[in-house]
Structure 1
Amino acid sequence: MTERKPFDAAVRRFLDEQAVATGALPPAMTSEEQVRMARGFMMRALESRVSIAGLPNGVETRDVEIAAGLGARVYVPPGDSASRPVVVYTHGGGWVVGAVATVDPFCRLLSEAAGVIIVSVEYRLAPEHPYPAALDDTLAAFEWVAEHAHEWGGDASRLALGGDSAGANLAAVIANRICSVAPVKEHAQALRALLLLYPVTDHPSADHPSYAENASGFGLEANLMRWFWTQYAPGVSADDPSIAPLRLREVPALPPTLVTTAHYDVLRDEGIAYAEKLKAAGVAVSHLHAPDMGHNFPVTPSQVARFPQGVETLGEIADWLRETLVVRQVR
């Protein structure tokens, strides 16, 4: 078991402040109302934490269209470089909420700190677009980047997949597919790194202890996570590794992988289990665990600014990306 420390008191105050600022999610609603209210609640919470004030202004951004109706934002760090590695990034939000805008500050910070180009994907959301729409969009984005990276100084031979929470689930599943399925295995050589921030890797029916231990009050409610699943993958078997990569029977030859977890997170145990599963399969895994933090802490910009753990973890993520994608030229 990982080290456990008391939940950070400053983070506790921060979450309480956010709860007051954004209001509470009503417990009983019809399906249509649930989606509307959940989106309103979550977007208020996310947007209240988003600010680009004081962030790196040397990072160049541009919005691009990957396919009809599928957009993305490209982040290019400052400095002279003819060819930079590229991270295809998918945001969190339970496959139901969230947007490129909500992770914009994090992508700016990480792009400059790591010296990498980031392509943040505006994938389709459930329940209007349930599984496998978001997965299809993530794969389409990766393949598009492989073809177009050179247009903004990217190196198509040094690509990474990354994401947080539900976005990390998409990154993990697509990485497994790229490295094991014949039609997309041609891209496996270009996939040099996998970045999984507090990933969703298993179905709630697994009843991991962290679901009960951290059910409420730490940034992601267990019941809300269960509800997200009903919106994203209705009728899909909980044993299907394309929604629950922890249940994958045989791990393919994945690139070096970074997994972050937090003790006070409902997703803690499945994230730790996935890191251990990949290690056992021979994948080069680095695992960063925060013993006194909750869900979302290294990505939310206001937490990065207010808490030393956020600053430290962002630096460690950037260092790992730089070492894996910039310093190492081959896997």
Structure 2
Amino acid sequence: MAFDLDAFVMKYKVHEETVSFLKMSLEEAAKPFYELSIEDARQANLQRAKKYAGSVDFEGITKDFTVPSYDNKDGIPITSYRAKTCNLTVAPPIMVYFHGGGNCMGSRQTYDTVCKVISRDAGCVVVSVEYRLAPEHKFPANHNDAKAAVRWTLMNKSLVGASNNSKVGVGGDSSGGRMAGIVCHEVPGLAFQVLVYPSVGFVERYKSHEEFEDGPILSKRTLDWCLDNYIDENDRSNPRGNLMLQKSYSNLPPALVIVAELDPLRDGCYAYHEKLKESGIKSQVLTINGAPHAFFHLPGHFKECCRRAYEKTAMFIKANS
């Protein structure tokens, strides 16, 4: 069924930024990702970011590096962002960030504004990871890249612009949020995790999946398209791809889970937050009411929604560093 904006606005209390975004999207009459080739989908995703992510006057330093990897012969490209506000502390924290995009789209370029704002507001160094994408590189290639990038960062804190005494945490949104959460189970010694509407796995179905199966933004058909591109059927219950199927939830860093109210991934986010709390892990949740999936990386349009989410992110990083 096609997405019906009028019915949606009648049923839910939708933030005005969401309404205007959805109206513009419908007026553009762009094809959904699942009707495009992977190359065209990536280009459409990039153009959306260019249009709605906005820009920020960044006072600071950016540097590019290539992280060596045992199973990625070309290495893993990363960019570090060190805002001027990092000078306010001797040992600024580091956040390793994994972008969203359904495991098959997105890049450092589409998240440039996100990383600059977080670095500036939190006074932290942000390391943005260009992990491998599906379908060219299926599961678990991106998780291998995430693990390698975090380990490398832990060993090269001063190189990326921080201090040898700096604490390192992780963050990410959507598929990148899942990657950030998984790497906390695989790499010890992390200080915090910021999970923005993470895709918690491929096995569980939640009420919100059915509630928002026609959208907005992330419909069931789009989710299925991303899933088919990314992971084979026999791998979908592998714990490396499922936050809810881990053997243990002990010794994890404090978590901030940011949830979009009008998102099919919403209930999975709440479930993981509760799982962490039940296991004795400090976990906070922030729900952005009236917001859809994908708002976090489009701060040029979702100004108020992002202001709340980014302020909480900055406070959380500072409190756990």
TM-score, scaled relative to structure 1: 0.85
* Change in 2 beyond 3 A, CA 1:50/1:217: same
Per-residue Cα deviation, 1:257-290 (whole angstroms, up to 9, x for no partner): 1101112101001111000001100000011112
The corresponding residue for 1:280 is 278
- The sequence identity of aligned pairs, in percent, is 26
> After superposition, where does 1:127-206 map in structure 2 within 5 Å?
127-151=135-159, 152-155=161-164, 157-178=166-187, 188-189=188-189, 191-203=190-202, 205-206=203-204
Worse overlay, 238-247 or 104-113: 238-247
Q: Secondary structure at the match of 2:128?
A: strand
The corresponding residue for 2:17 is 10
Q: CA RMSD in A?
A: 2.0
Q: Assess if the C-alpha contact under 8 Å between 1:5 and 1:291 holds in 2.
A: no
Worse overlay, 57-66 or 13-22: 13-22
Q: CA deviation at 1:250?
A: 2.4
Q: CA deviation at 1:161?
A: 1.1
* 1:75 counterpart letter in structure 2: Y
* Change in 2 beyond 3 A, CA 1:120/1:95: same
Q: Is the aligned partner of 1:94 residue 2:102?
A: yes
Q: CA deviation at 1:199?
A: 0.2
Given candidates 102, 114, 117, the residue that maps to 2:122 is 114
Worse overlay, 95-104 or 36-45: 36-45
Q: Assess if the C-alpha contact under 8 Å between 1:91 and 1:100 holds in 2.
A: yes
Q: Assess if the C-alpha contact under 8 Å between 1:163 and 1:195 holds in 2.
A: yes
Q: Assess if the C-alpha contact under 8 Å between 1:22 and 1:44 holds in 2.
A: no
Q: 1:300, 1:147 → 2: CA distance? A: 32
Q: CA deviation at 1:5?
A: 5.8
Q: Secondary structure at the match of 1:51?
A: coil
TM-score, scaled relative to structure 2: 0.88
Q: 1:169, 1:104 → 2: CA distance? A: 20
Q: 1:154, 1:51 → 2: CA distance? A: 30
Q: CA deviation at 1:299?
A: 2.7
Q: CA deviation at 1:309?
A: 2.6
Q: 1:126, 1:278 → 2: CA distance? A: 29
Per-residue Cα deviation, 1:39-65 (whole angstroms, up to 9, x for no partner): 23323322322332xx13213212222
> After superposition, where does 1:235-246 map in structure 2 within 5 Å?
235-246=233-244
* 1:194 counterpart letter in structure 2: Q
The corresponding residue for 1:321 is 317
* Change in 2 beyond 3 A, CA 1:26/1:56: closer
Q: 2:58, 2:17 → 1: CA distance? A: 28
Q: Could you list the runs of 4 or more consecutive aligned residues of structure 1 that deviate by over 6 angstroms after TM superposition?
A: none
Count of aligned positions: 303
Q: 2:237, 2:24 → 1: CA distance? A: 38
Q: CA deviation at 1:100?
A: 0.4
Worse overlay, 275-284 or 206-215: 206-215
Q: Assess if the C-alpha contact under 8 Å between 2:196 and 2:259 holds in 1.
A: yes
Q: CA deviation at 1:157?
A: 4.9
Q: 1:60, 1:48 → 2: CA distance? A: 24
Q: Secondary structure at the match of 1:287?
A: strand
Q: 2:290, 2:156 → 1: CA distance? A: 41
Q: Secondary structure at the match of 1:322?
A: helix
Q: 1:164, 1:146 → 2: CA distance? A: 21
Q: CA deviation at 1:145?
A: 0.7
Per-residue Cα deviation, 1:32-87 (whole angstroms, up to 9, x for no partner): x63233223323322322332xx132132122222334211100010434421111
Q: CA deviation at 1:174?
A: 1.2
Q: Secondary structure at the match of 1:62?
A: strand
Q: CA deviation at 1:149?
A: 1.2
Q: Assess if the C-alpha contact under 8 Å between 2:80 and 2:127 holds in 1.
A: yes
Given candidates 215, 220, 243, the residue that maps to 2:218 is 220
Worse overlay, 296-305 or 208-217: 296-305
* Change in 2 beyond 3 A, CA 1:304/1:321: farther
What runs of 5+ residues in structure 1 fail to find an aligned partner? 179-187, 326-331
* 2:123 counterpart letter in structure 1: G
Q: CA deviation at 1:231?
A: 1.3
Q: Assess if the C-alpha contact under 8 Å between 2:53 and 2:297 holds in 1.
A: no
